[in-house]
Amino acid sequence: MTSAGSLGALLAAFIDLVLPPRCGGCRRIGAWLCAGCRGRIRPLQEPLCRRCGAEVESARPDCGCRRRLRSLARLRSAVAYDGPIEHAIQRFKYQGWRRLAAPLALLLVERLVVEGLAASWALAVPLHAERLRARGFNQSELLAAELRAHMSLDAPPGHLVRARATPPQVGHDRLWRQNNVRGAFEWQGPDLEGRSVLIVDDVATTGATLEACAAALRAGGSGAVIGAAVARVSI
């Protein structure tokens, strides 16, 4: 008998043959993220805040983020949100290029391994049901699934849900973002028994959304919560 995984691999190979991969950064045919675009990805430049991973002017324990990121133990991003990564994430998130999940998640896996960050479980920032119906998929869940596969992690026994719809965070300042998502998430499931959790998103700016998710997970009994995003927006 052929396993579901083998069937999935065969189907993916057939789709790639009929519809060859097209780079999410430059749209060239050949790979979902081509070597040229990979070479133009900008790594986050040291020094970075030890707590939230933001680019800072000088090395120090934190950049003042501790006052607003109280539930997140750490926040880490793989690369800067500009150039080919910005184009790739836009196509992944808004144009349905779902196959970009694998190369984007791999960037994040590499960063987490270098940082030596690990957790018991990994899960995604959830979408509200209305937005999920409109978009058809949760891009962060695709990323989280890739991370779980690469890092041999499981999802926790329950669900993190977005209890109320919130306007998009894009274009607003830090305080507005914090207020917009405060209390927007709930943990629905058994007590998390002090286990550590990795919460995954595509892009981080101020960390407000990941912090709100972390607050819900801590209320559900989790241990340390680590935020992980593919790209970081400089502010």
Give the model confidence (pLDDT) of 194-226 as tens digits.
Answer: 999 999 999 999 899 999 999 999 999 999 999
Percent of the chain with pLDDT over 70: 88
Q: Is residue 88 predicted with pLDDT exceeding 90?
A: yes
Q: In angstroms, rounded to a whole number, what is the distance separating the alpha carbons of residues 75 and 116? A: 13
Instruction: Return d(Cα 52, Cα 71) in angstroms, integer.
Output: 12
Residue 146 scores a pLDDT above 60? yes
Rg (CA), the chain: 18
User: Is the model more confident about 223 or about 170?
Assistant: 223
Q: Do 119 and 198 meet the contact criterion of CB atoms below 8 Å apart?
A: yes
pLDDT value of residue 8: 53
Higher pLDDT, 218 or 60: 218
Q: Which CB contacts under 8 angstroms, 24+ apart, belong to 8-11?
A: none
pTM, whole model, 2 decimals? 0.89
> Is 60 exceeded by the pLDDT of residue 12?
no
Residue 2: band (very low, low, confident or very high) from pLDDT cuts 50, 70, 90: very low
Residue type, 80: A
With a CB cutoff of 8 Å and minimum separation 6, the contacts of 171 are none
Domains and CATH numbers, the chain: 42-232 (3.40.50)
Comparing 178 with 65, which gets the higher pLDDT? 65
Q: What is the mean pLDDT of the chain?
A: 89
Tokens representing 171 are 């274009």
Name the more confident of 170 and 234: 234
Confidence (pLDDT) at 1: 41
* Contact (Cβ atoms closer than 8 angstroms) between residue 88 and residue 37: yes
Residue 19 has pLDDT above 90, yes or no: no
Q: What was the pLDDT predicted at 170? A: 72
pLDDT at 98: 95
Q: What is the DSSP letter of 88?
A: H
Pick the range with the lowest mean pLDDT from 46-50, 69-73, 138-142, 228-232. 46-50
> What is the rounded distance in angstroms from the CA atom of residue 214 to the CA atom of residue 227?
8
Q: At 66, phi and psi to the nearest 5?
A: -60, -30
Residue 85 has pLDDT above 90, yes or no: yes
The per-residue pLDDT for 113 is 94
Q: What does the pLDDT look like over 120-144, one tens digit per residue?
A: 999 999 999 988 999 999 999 999 9
Confidence band (pLDDT; 50, 70, 90) for 105?
Answer: very high
